[in-house]
Amino acid sequence: MQTAPIYKDLVLVGGGHSHSLLIRNWAMQPLSGVRLTLVSETPLTPYSGMLPGLLAGHYTHDQAHIDLARLCQWAGVRFISARMHSIDLPSKRIRIDGRPDIEFDLLSLDTGSTPDLSVPGAREFATPVKPVSQLFDRWQQLNQSLDNNIQTDIGVVGSGAGGFEIIMALRYAMPKTVTLHWILRRQTCLNGRPEKVGEYALQAATDSGIQIHKDFDVASLSENTLTAADGKQLTVDDVLWCTAAAAPAWVVESGLQACDRGFVATNAFLQSVSHPFVFATGDIGTQVNTPSDKAGVFAVRQAPVLLENVRRYLLDKSLKAYVPQKTFLSLMAVGRKSAIASRGNITLKGDIYWRLKDHIDQKFMRQFAELPSMPAQRDVFRVPTVISGNASSDEPMHCKGCGSKVAESILHAVLSQLQPVTRNDIKSGLAQLEDAAVFSADDASWVQSVDQISAITDDPYWFGKIAAVHALSDVVTQTVDVHSAQAVVTLPHAGSDITRRDLSQLLAGALSVFNEENCALVGGHTAEAADMLLGFVVNGKLTSANQVGTNSALIEGDAIILCKALGTGVIMAAHGLLKANGVDVSTALEKMQQSNRSAAQILKTSEARRVTDVTGFGLLAHLHSLLRDDALRALINLSTLPFLTGAVKLAEEGVRSSLFESNSHTLQLFTGAEDSPDAIKALLCDPQTSGGLLGIVPASHAQAAIKLLHTAGYLDAAVIGRVVKGESCLLETNSSV
């Protein structure tokens, strides 16, 4: 929890071993006034030591990956899921695909390496094993494409440790109908290591039935053929490319001084020799005077020195030298649970070394799976029970986004007591308790809505997009002519540079949404406080021709359609409790950025009778508001409800948004709620940030509407129920809709 104003941005690019360890240790002793940001293309990063075991089936996906999003949430580090394609060194900015640049005061690179695909045909006809973050997905696709009744030949090109471990893992996991070919450039393999290591590796491959092709220097590839420099050819069905690592082009293109292989040239302090405000570790960096192998063991050893040096650099102190070890323990997996161990000139093999390797790897990963509690930071805003009046527990952590709204019961109780002045040109205001107000001006009807949410993500660009989409939802359900918006921005206390950076990212994200709507951002108000908040007043012109919902009477049998999956409140609450999977969190945040505009237009063409968006008060409350005082009720088929990945599991584990309790009173309005699973009831009342539209359409138009919604990108859209006669609304499972 950051309590001091921010003055400097330390940005880490890449979630490699050095950066993962740096983040974990930074959390124990953060540097006050410095904001740490991790930019990573994916929320999960693989641990290279476990990849062979993952491919062989010895480890699960979760066991072999570090959840960067969860780690950053625990550490109080800003996580931005994005891909850097270059660095603007003079202005200290990293260039990001599809979004504004990210500025930094100090930069650290741990992005790994890329495959060397310079051999003609390699890029088109081989499957590279790097970046390793994508290897498992490629392996699954390859494995699933196999037909166990058809003979298949797969070649692995690469005579290093990576090529050996991968081909042995494949041999262990793949059926015998697959013939594996290990292609070596020379007579030997694992050059640079003790001779005995190579001998053991060749013997292990031979014993496993792998065909070894020595002195096969691949010169070109075609669709099914490898051709060597001496003209020899080998026909295979697939090729895995595991040759020496290559540097990404952006190193040289950005102007960083590089070594002869194109990696960032660094000094003894892991610092760029040409740009002192850039550090580089792991595969992406090469120390000029003391180069070392591109191996994970060095990245791990570099981590504490990197942490110390970025702290010292920011504090303007002398830096500490990193001296790579001359020898290290190497443990190479041999498919089954065995390994080859070497250190210096000593080489051994056997199952005991697999157990040693497994112990070391599991110990390393436990650092990220079993994150310690940090009560000193988490108790800052904890309310004593004597103050809160809750004798059984402390005040729960309040959720963000729509989970931070004032409860519906409190809001309605207060608004019902107010007596605002009445005007003839106000068509819908506090008395109607609608999502948006409607007033007349210049012989036209205008819709106006205001919405503000707290930062549901640390990424200000994504937050700006989510807040804008969320604010527009109330308007697009009533009009297709969005006119203008004003912003209300609250930024955390910070130095002027940080404030400028955050405001720029926030508004850039919002404008990417408003510009698509042809909605002019015409002004607003800014303030500073402890937390980031963003809201918008949105105006739109309403005519009978472009109103989405007709507000006509409901008819028995009408279909109830939900356009987005439920569960954002539970997932983001779990993220705050470090219980959510990083991929599920990223998926939820991406769904929140999806505009409801197209869904509104589809519901309009489907002659929707009534439409609203599902936000802070949950599905049931918003559905009940659509029914109003009609004699007809709603029957919801629980088995058809769409949920975000991970939401049901988290709800079953007892995770609830802090707004759930106040929303749950709506369950009393639905017969069958008492018999429904607790997890489903929680999700029915779960507050949704930038949730989907909820519409009631004639039954005859329902399936066509669903097809149109799916085509438009609302892949979770579903008919979740129908309008029925009865004294109360119903919740049922397996009922016909």
Domain residue ranges in the chain: 8-113+247-332+343-369, 115-245, 420-542, 559-732
Residues of the chain with pLDDT under 50: 1-2, 376-396, 398, 400-415, 418, 420-421, 426, 429-430, 432-438
Predicted pLDDT of residue 548: 62
| Tokens (6 digits) for 576 | 């705050």
Q: Give yes or no for a contact between 270 and 280, defined as CB atoms under 8 angstroms apart.
A: yes
Buried b (16+ CB within 10 A) or exposed e, 390-410: eeeeeebeebbbbbbbebbee
Contact 21, 66 (CB under 8 A): no
CA-closest candidate to residue 192, choices 49, 293, 331: 293
> Distance between CA atoms of 696 and 612, rounded to whole angstroms?
9
CA 638 to chain centre: 28
* Among 692, 691, 104, 716, CA closest to 456: 691
> Is the distance from CB of 325 to CB of 46 less than 8 angstroms?
no
pLDDT of residue 686: 94
Determine the pLDDT at residue 543.
65
Q: Cα(71)–Cα(45) distance, rounded to whole angstroms?
A: 11
Q: If you classify domain 420-542 with CATH, what class do you get?
A: alpha beta
The answer to whether the CB of 618 falls within 8 A of the CB of 686 is yes
Helix, strand or coil, per DSSP, at residue 603: helix
Beta-carbon contacts of 370 under 8 Å, excluding residues fewer than 6 positions away, are none
Query: Residue 547: its pLDDT value, please?
Result: 60
- CA gap 167, 51 in Å, rounded: 12
| Position 717, amino acid | A
- Could you give the CA distance from residue 169 to residue 166 in angstroms, rounded to a whole number? 5
The H or E element containing residue 307 is helix 296-314
Given a contact cutoff of 8 angstroms between Cβ atoms, the answer to whether 13 and 39 are in contact is yes
Strands ordered across the beta sheet of 84-88 = 84-88, 93-96, 102-103
Span between the terminal Cα atoms of the chain, in Å: 47
**DSSP secondary structure code for residue 658 in this structure:** T
Would you say the CATH fold of 115-245 matches that of 8-113+247-332+343-369?
yes
Residue 551: its pLDDT value, please? 67
Phi/psi at 34 (5° precision): -115, 130
Q: What is the CA radius of gyration of the chain?
A: 29
Element (H, E) at 197: helix 195-207
Structure tokens at 246: 């290559």
Residues facing residue 535 across a β-bridge: 452, 488
**Cα–Cα nearest to 660, from 620, 626, 610, 632:** 620
Residue among 19, 13, 61 nearest 41 (CA):
13
Which helix (H) or strand (E) segment is 618 a member of? helix 618-627
State the Cα–Cα distance between residues 65 and 60, nearest whole angstrom: 9
CA–CA distance from 250 to each of 67, 86, 301 (Å)? 26, 5, 26
- Directed axis angle between helix 460-476 and helix 496-514, to 10°? 40
Q: What's the CATH architecture for 115-245?
A: 3-Layer(bba) Sandwich (3.50)
Distance CA 554, CA 37 (A): 51
The top-level CATH class assigned to 8-113+247-332+343-369 is alpha beta
732, 601 contact by CB (below 8 A): no
Give the model's pLDDT for residue 60. 92
Q: What are phi and psi of 432, to 5 degrees?
A: -90, -15
**536 contacts 485 by C-beta, under 8 angstroms:** yes
- pLDDT recorded at residue 293: 67
d(CA 11, CA 5): 17
Tokens standing for 288?
A: 């000029």
Backbone angles phi, psi at 445, to 5 degrees: -100, 135
Q: What residues contact 736, with CB distance under 8 A and at least 6 apart? A: 637
Is 460 in contact with 508 (CB distance < 8 Å)?
A: no
Is the CB of residue 687 less than 8 Å from the CB of residue 657? yes
The CATH number fitting domain 559-732, selected from 3.10.20.30, 3.30.450.20, 3.90.650.10, 3.40.190.170: 3.90.650.10
